[in-house]
A and B are shown apart, each in its own frame.
Chain A
Amino acid sequence: MSPNTPETNSPTPAQPASVQSEPVLELRRVNTHYGAVHILKDVDLDIYSGELVCLLGGNASGKSTTLRTILGMVKPTTGDVKVNGQVVTHQSTRDRVAMGVTMVPENRRLFKRLTVRENLDLGAYLRSDSDQIASDMERVFDLFPRVKERLNQKSGTLSGGEQQMVAIGRALMANPRVLLMDEPSMGLAPALVQQNFELIQQIHEAGMTVFMVEQNANMALSIADRGWVLQTGRVVLDDTAENLLAHPDLQASYLGTAEQ
């Protein structure tokens, strides 16, 4: 359970670039605008296979915009997004999903009037390998036995915790190479937050590359390998989780707004 969490995390090397040649996901000097408003300013990120990394930032600092830029739901004005070393800046969201980038959206955003099963099916929307889909569905059930019980229930009637499971399950059904998570702890009852992060860690330990965006810095850094801190669209800190936790700037400027 949670007591051994620090042990598994602390030996993680600080320079993952030496282990892996090419990042799964890379942002190079990305600038994103909404209309005339400059949101992301020269953002550089790189995420390597098997990592659990997080992007921290306060409200409206541009975290969701970063994820939307990665998925191509908003196009950067300058800079490049690379998936598996390939520039995808001008490719559609659909193509990027097909390349293995999948998001668990902010607030879970299930298809509320569809059943749990239909939600999971939609996660695998672009896939046609039905045998593999079925076995992935089984994996989701192994991870969340609760989801299997609720398969034919309308997802909008699930409790917050169960909705989170379905949202993660839906993303896993895409068989992603990298899982983007937009504020997974948002809107969850405090008792569920801890459990939620344990779950993310569990998925990560099963081999998934996870890029998580969070306001809850302490919690996120307790399970992440590395992290960045975003302030009004600019990356101001880039370090290992340990160093970030100890960083005076983070404590002063940012943690004041985070819970606990």
Chain B
Amino acid sequence: MTAAGDFPASQDAAPAAAPRRRLLEQDWRKLLRASAILAIAQVFIGLSGMPVSFDRRLLIDPILSLGYLSLLWLPLAVSYWVGREQVLEGMTAYARGGRDVLAGAITGAVGNAGLTLLVVGITHFDIRDPLVNWSPQLLGILEFEESVWLGALIWPAIGAGVGALGGGMHWASSRITRTTVIVLLSVFGTAVLESVITDLSQGFHIEAVSDWLYGPKRGLTYPAAIVVAAAAAAIAGGIAAYRAFLARTASTSGQLGIAASGETSANRVRWRRIPVRRLVGFALSAAAIVVLPLFLGRLTNELLANVGLFILLALGLNIIVGLAGILDLGYVAFFAVGGYSVAVLTSPGSPRFDLEIPWFGALFAAMLLAGLAGLLIGAPVIRMRGDYLAIVTLGFGEIIRVLLLSDWLSGTFNGAQGITNIPGVEVFGLATVRGFEPRSVLYLVLVFCAIAVYVSWRLENSRIGRAWMAIREDESVAEAMGVDTVSAKLMAFVTGAVLGSFSGAILSAKVGSVFPHSFAIIVSIVILVVVIFGGMGSIAGVIAGAAVLIGVLGGPNQPGLLQEFAEYKILIYGALLVWMMLQRSEGLIPSVRRARELHLDEMNQDAWLRAQVAADDAGGGGGGDRSEGEQP
């Protein structure tokens, strides 16, 4: 064997060279495990009541409801996961083939047999008693309103089909896979965004579009779904072709230069292209963001305002968790300080003070108080690390809520009754922002989001931003480099606190009232999930995370696009958090830094290092030639 045989290149291994596995040459244990997990999860989803609650929401008019989708997505995901293989250097990379499809189909079929058991079980035993969420309608859904036999037999069949699709995604070329995913997401997205799109088409006076897209009972109509899918496929194909074209021109221009300068010339081409494209893209999206609310209806503006409030919160927490690496589970405290400061200072209903100062004045006070709260909470926890710190911050978050609720301070905060009658925001005599005018609230939120994005962006690229990242990576080495870790961490707390207080201050004026229960632990958790889901340390990621999660699922006290999810929101947030942690995922839009840390890369590196060390150990002098690449 040649030396190359020992270290096959992982990514670009020529498919022709990779050995093929036979159809039945499966990793049966892995299949079994995945099937069992799938079966348990499917039964859980069924009994949780999701299929029944979501069945009312049609996605594609007669054929697919959100309820059925809740039973379909998991077989797809699990069967895709079953076929996933990490190929490390030093391992054999097998060619993809029919084996993946079979593995997916088996997993889907066996896993969905869980639903067969469920159908049979429900028919023969009374499970009402222990499982209150279970409703008789579930049986109807599982049986497609036909017979027990159909219900029992069809689910494994569906599982096999969906599973084959999931497993087959590994086999298909990445272009086909990507197109499929884009098509599915587009159809789903168009269905989910129904109210927004209807709203928009009313705003632009093109109701015909939404009338054609959506049926009378909500949900995409049959033909509309097909057209959307076709359009998405066409656009995806077009983009892929354009990319290929760009890549081809770039490589030709690289070849024009001398071999050694090839890389630099490619860099130069890219460098010149990006800023203009970025600038145009930035200007266009800024203009769209400013103009769009004018064409949106109340509900959509309200929804976007809520998203914006959570973007503010998430950007603030992102500084603490994402940049400085301090796991703060009590972030809601700063939200509460912002909200209550404005309430106490501006409302005529404020029990102790009768100040009724304008909102902007109260905002200033809120910022100061939040900064102070950041110092007070930060100071004692800053010397702690990891899990201790997380638990203590969790406690502080709760203390603030308990204080607001307490009899002791009810003379100021009015206890559980909260503070009501909070006036709107007078914008320098030009306009008034009031809760019943969601558009005005949205504009106010957008202004503060813009401020928060700018501040985050500047901080990230500043000296203190660098210090935060160093602390996140290795606190004691950061200290040894001369970083004043205590003040840097306090600074992160204070900055995050002030950004969070903006959100609370706007919330007060928007809702017109604040109550202690609006600031429960769950708010901290949801913000954290948004940050992690979006991509810790990434501004764009945090914004995208808030848009997707808060927009679709809704915040802890705010409805999202899928209002059917309301009961299950917390369950879904929890599941998402667990999954993100298990995957150690980098989120929707990883920060530029994190994008580089592809896990596979790291593992390859480790494998390579081990091989290197082994070779050195084994060969002594003989290993010298391999480590020659090491010499500077």
Interface positions of A (Cβ within 8 A of B): 71, 73, 92-94, 97-98, 102-103, 105, 109, 111-115, 118, 121-123, 125-126, 144-146, 153-154, 156-162, 165, 170, 174, 189-192, 195, 199
Contacts and interface: CB of A to CB of B under 8 A. Distances in A.
B482 A191 contact: no
Contacts of A190: 616-617, 620
A159 B473 CA distance: 18
Contacts, number: 109
B625 to A, nearest CB: 10
Nearest first, the 8 closest Cβ-Cβ pairs linking A and B are A97-B482, A111-B473, A126-B482, A161-B630, A154-B596, A189-B616, A191-B627, A109-B477
Contacts of A121: 466
B90 to A, nearest CB: 16
Interface string B574-606: 000000000000000000011011000110010
A92 B485 CA distance: 11
Contact of A109 (B474, B483, B632): B474
14 contacts: A94-B483, A103-B480, A111-B473, A111-B477, A111-B478, A112-B473, A114-B470, A122-B478, A125-B463, A157-B597, A159-B608, A159-B612, A165-B632, A195-B630
Contacts of A157: 596-597, 601-602, 605
Interface string B18-41: 000000000000000000000000
Contact of A153 (B473, B478, B596, B630): B596
Contact of B630 (A126, A170, A192): A192
A92 B480 CA distance: 10
Contact of A114 (B469, B482, B617, B620): B469
Which of A73, A123, A165, A191 has the most chain B CB within a 10 Å cutoff? A191
Nearest to B473: A111
Contacts of A159: 605, 608-609, 612, 630
A113 B482 contact: no
Contacts of B484: 92, 94
Nearest to B623: A191
A174 B481 contact: yes
B365 to A, nearest CB: 34
Nearest to B604: A157
A170 B483 CA distance: 14
Nearest to B605: A157
A145 B605 contact: no
Contacts of B226: none
Given A98-B482, A191-B616, A191-B623, A113 B473 contact: yes
Contacts of B602: 156-157
Interface in B424-463: 463
Contacts of B605: 156-159
Contacts of A146: 632
A80 to B, nearest CB: 20
B616 A111 contact: no
B596 to A, nearest CB: 4
Which of A93, A109, A170 has the most chain B CB within a 10 Å cutoff? A93
B467 interface: yes
A254 B92 CA distance: 46
Given A111-B474, A125-B466, A156-B602, A105 B613 contact: no
Contacts of B479: 73, 93
B238 interface: no
A93 B480 contact: yes
A213 to B, nearest CB: 14
Contacts of A170: 481
Which of B467, B482, B484 has the most chain A CB within a 10 Å cutoff? B482
B7 to A, nearest CB: 14
A248 B473 CA distance: 44
Contacts of A114: 469-470, 473, 593
Contacts of A109: 474, 477
B418 to A, nearest CB: 43
Given A93-B480, A159-B609, A192-B627, 11 more contacts: A102-B480, A102-B481, A112-B474, A113-B473, A115-B596, A125-B463, A144-B632, A158-B605, A159-B630, A160-B609, A160-B612
Contacts of A102: 480-481
Nearest to A124: B481
A126 B605 CA distance: 32
Contacts of B478: 111, 122
Nearest to A190: B616
B624 interface: yes
A55 to B, nearest CB: 17
Given A146-B632, A191-B627, A122 B609 contact: no
Contacts of A191: 616, 623-624, 627, 630
Contacts of A112: 473-474
B174 interface: no
Nearest to B594: A113
Given A93-B480, A159-B609, A195-B631, A118 B597 contact: no
B261 interface: no
A92 B463 CA distance: 19
A24 to B, nearest CB: 18
Contacts of A125: 463, 466-467, 470, 481-483
A149 B630 CA distance: 13
Given A159-B612, A190-B616, A122 B481 contact: yes
